Amino acid sequence: MGIVKLKSQFLTVDELIRELGVPASRIRMTPLPGTATEKDLLRTNGRKDGIFELVDGVLVEKSMGFWECVIGNQLGALLRAYVHSGALGIVAGAQAEHRLRRGLVRLPDVSFVSWDQLPDFKVPEEAVPNLYPDIAVEVYSRGNRRKEMARKRREYFRAGTRLVWIVYPKTETVEVYTSPTEFRTLGIGDTLDGGDVLPGFQLAVRDVFAPPPAPPRPPKSRNGKKK
């Protein structure tokens, strides 16, 4: 893939930050913003200094905290179990690249791709396939910004995505988007469903945020010491 320049010319770094909707600490300066390619993306993601997305020639680091990763993995596992039981498609995690268009590669924290996009029923072997997530899941981390998420939603739906879930660990809520701006908010007592994209899929929101089960603690003796 060739170089894809930013849509506009930016005179300052502040303008670039506002356009991308992310803090400066997440913008990689090598290669220079506006000149990065998919080869640069794959080379950078092959190292151990973070995971990046390609946004109009700019490498932007994904913001991923430990607990946010746990939540994403839990949700992905529950979604995968349902999808596989019905042979409905593929569920991928946070390191799966999706080429939404030339020069734009996103890595949602969880993605569902239906077999409708792959009529031969084969998982693509290329590193960056031309696949959009039918369902895209983004787990909101401390380093994320609302403007960044708004941009991502526009990009997903423009590419063909039909459902976007934004998961907020701090408030234990999920925003369910059926368009870039139309959404409903689910709380801990509500049920998340797959709508028209995954009919029949239902998941209690509390299960999304449930901590992993811990082994029982050994009983204590009368003097307070473990037996």
Read off the pLDDT of residues 27-40 as tens digits, 9 standing for 90 and up: 999 999 989 999 99
Enumerate the domain spans of the chain. Answer: 13-61, 66-208
> What was the pLDDT predicted at 5?
47
Query: Is the model's pLDDT at 176 over the cut of 60?
Result: yes
Confidence of residue 143 (pLDDT cuts 50, 70, 90): very high
pLDDT band, residue 223 (cuts 50/70/90): low
CATH annotation of 66-208: 3.90.1570.10
pLDDT at 224: 60
Strand arrangement, sheet containing 135-139 = 89-92, 110-114, 135-139, 163-168, 173-177, 183-186
Percent helix, strand and coil across the chain, each rounded to 5? 25, 25, 50
* 92-206-162 Cα angle (round to 5): 40
- pLDDT category, 13, cuts 50, 70, 90? confident
- Residue 6 pLDDT exceeds 60: no
- Expressed in angstroms, the distance from the first to the final Cα of the chain is 64
pLDDT at 1 over 70: no
